Amino acid sequence: MTIALALVSCSALASAQVASVPTYGAADNGPSVLLSNADGGNAYPSIVRVQARATCTGVFIATTDPDDPRGDDASAWVATNGHCVDFPATNVVVREQPGQGFVVFNFFIDTTTRQIQVPIRRMAYATMKGQDIALVELSARVGELRRAGFEPWRPVLTLPEPDEPVVVVGAPLQRNPQLSYLRLAACPLEGRAAFVYEFTWHWYGFERTRCSDLLPGSSGSPVISRKTGRIVALLNTTNAFAEPYSACQPDSPCEPTGKDAVQPEATSYATPMIRIDRCFDGRGEFDLNGPGCPLDPGTNTVHAPATLGSINPFLLNVPIGGARPTWSVRISGPHEYYRYKVVKVPDDDCRDLRGYGDVLSITTRPVITDHLPTVEGHHMLCSIGGPTRRWGGDWQSVDFPTVTRVRIDTTPSTLAAPIAITETPTGYFVEFNTLGIEVSTYTYKVGPAGETSCIDDRDYRLALLEFITVPKGGRPQVFCAVPYDAAGNRGVLFEKQLP
């Protein structure tokens, strides 16, 4: 049913204390527990299924003073990940969009006839810039939901301890859809990652966990402190199923190091929720400019590739050799002036004002044409913008810089080329398999055995398809292939005699 049609009174649910964080038998880092609520006494009915751009999890959050009776008249709000309700690009903050989709309260395996579906009225905020968070307004009032037994959860006000015990409550999708309901996993936090990268996105200060059974659908699941009963963070991504050669690629988050990146085993990451309630005024209305609100206001410079094929936020690896490439980043945005710098991560940080250059005009210098770094590792071009030549408080906050990221890679892959060759009655079927960014493209050639040298660079051609067929020629042939990583570094030669 929807909230617009009816509300179910569940007096037993109303007695649940949001500060109570039971684990329902889940052991730290052990298997998750499928939750039930047939008796109405479960502590987590306010953690919701989000059905919007993606299927995710979210949490009903407190946005008003608990002692103010007027709080019941405020709109109800749910927090989830930005990628659940939109899919913002690297430096984009989405604001004030019509709501799409709905959330489901009381989302337990044994309460399917008593679940409450509430439409999303408005998407007030969504971003994947620095964080991965969305705040959506529901088509229901706080008081309506509280009378139905759903109490909002409050975010933490200060950073948790590095090893704080937590639970993650969410609705991961399962092979058997009949089991895709709320589950609870328990674990301690595993410290805090200064930087997390995934594909084109960069995130700051994400909490690490090794809670179990975090799958698609878990995005947006609240990470709740077992000490304070408050929301520490929202689950964002995991490397639990990532291949080692896919570090920093989609579904394979990484932490940049001096030269490369690390992926702590079976680690999931969560975007912080500290003081998110400060983004609401005393009446429960969203106020991005509220005192203490930690969210990026989105009034930032814009980065775009200056020319076709130039460096852009989607190019993660850049070959070094020949003509030295440049950033070729075009600056635009709501302001006329900007400052920029280039940093190597994690040694430096775009959020540190030190190192930013002189104030420049977008009109007279719209493109940054500096040469790319030559030192291997992860680098960021950072910019902040402002309305006047005098840098000051009306400029883009250095806490929320605009970033274009590259990984400089000059080291060839040592992985063997995963080429598969199958003989057929008339020839050979050759498959150019890849290994993420470590083996991403090939050149190849075929010629008579004894007359063809694989180490001779002449006559190689680019493999434009994932496979080719080589006809039998009545005499032995040699097949040669050279794998390349995503940065264009040449890998280990593949050579095969074809009878």
pLDDT band at 12 (very low <50, low <70, confident <90, very high): very low
Longest dimension (CA), the chain: 89
Query: Considering only CA atoms, which of 405, 485, 54, 458 is closest in space to residue 195?
Result: 405
Res 169: pLDDT? 98
Integer Cα distance of 194 and 130 in angstroms: 11
Fold classification of 11-279 is Thrombin, subunit H (2.40.10)
Quick: pLDDT tens for 139-157.
999 999 999 999 999 999 9
Integer Cα distance of 17 and 343 in angstroms: 47
Res 18: pLDDT? 42
Quick: pLDDT tens for 434-450.
998 889 999 999 999 99
pLDDT band at 249 (very low <50, low <70, confident <90, very high): confident
pLDDT band at 308 (very low <50, low <70, confident <90, very high): low
Burial class (CB in 10 A: 0-12, 13-18, 19+), 322: exposed
Task: Using the predicted structure, report yes or no on whether residue 260 has a pLDDT greater than 90.
Answer: no
β-pair type (402-408, 317-318): parallel
Res 493: pLDDT? 97
Query: Considering only CA atoms, which of 114, 111, 102 is closest in space to residue 8?
Result: 114
Fold classification of 419-498 is Immunoglobulin-like (2.60.40)
Global pTM value = 0.88
Task: Using the predicted structure, report yes or no on whether residue 6 has a pLDDT greater than 50.
Answer: no
Q: What's the length of the chain?
A: 499
Res 307: pLDDT? 65
Res 168: pLDDT? 98
Neighbours of 7 (CB within 10 A): 19
pLDDT band at 487 (very low <50, low <70, confident <90, very high): confident
Quick: pLDDT tens for 185-198.
999 999 999 999 99
Helix (H) or strand (E) holding 255: strand 255-256
CB 392 within 8 A of CB 364: no
Integer Cα distance of 443 and 463 in angstroms: 5
**415-437 average pLDDT score:** 95
In the chain, the N- to C-terminal Cα span, in Å, equals 68
Quick: pLDDT tens for 381-398.
999 999 999 988 899 999
**What are the structure tokens assigned to 226, written together?**
């077992």
Counting Cα atoms < 13 Å in the Cβ hemisphere of 445 gives 15
Integer Cα distance of 94 and 108 in angstroms: 31
Task: Using the predicted structure, report yes or no on whether residue 246 has a pLDDT greater than 50.
Answer: yes
Neighbours of 475 (CB within 10 A): 10
Res 452: pLDDT? 95
**320-334 average pLDDT score:** 78
Task: Using the predicted structure, report yes or no on whether residue 341 has a pLDDT greater than 80.
Answer: yes
Integer Cα distance of 210 and 185 in angstroms: 9
Helix (H) or strand (E) holding 445: strand 441-448
pLDDT band at 314 (very low <50, low <70, confident <90, very high): very low
Integer Cα distance of 314 and 406 in angstroms: 9
- Hey, which residues does 54 pair with through a beta bridge? none
Q: Which residues in 380-409 are b (16+ Cβ under 10 Å) and which e?
A: bbbbbbbeeeebeeebbebebbbbbbbbbb
Res 395: pLDDT? 95
**What are the structure tokens assigned to 105, written together?**
């309260």
Task: Using the predicted structure, report yes or no on whether residue 322 has a pLDDT greater than 60.
Answer: no
Of all residues in the chain, the percent with pLDDT exceeding 70 is 93
Residue predicted with more confidence, 148 or 319: 148
Quick: pLDDT tens for 97-127.
999 999 999 999 999 999 999 999 999 999 9
Least confident stretch, 314-323, 445-454, 475-484: 314-323
Three-state DSSP string of 127-156:
ECCECCEEEEEEEEEHHHHHHCCCCCECEC
> What does the domain layout of the chain look like in residue ranges?
11-279, 302-408, 419-498
Res 7: pLDDT? 38
CB 326 within 8 A of CB 374: no
pLDDT band at 311 (very low <50, low <70, confident <90, very high): low
Res 4: pLDDT? 42
Res 13: pLDDT? 36
pLDDT band at 19 (very low <50, low <70, confident <90, very high): low
3-state DSSP helix/strand/coil percent for the chain, to nearest 5? 5, 40, 55
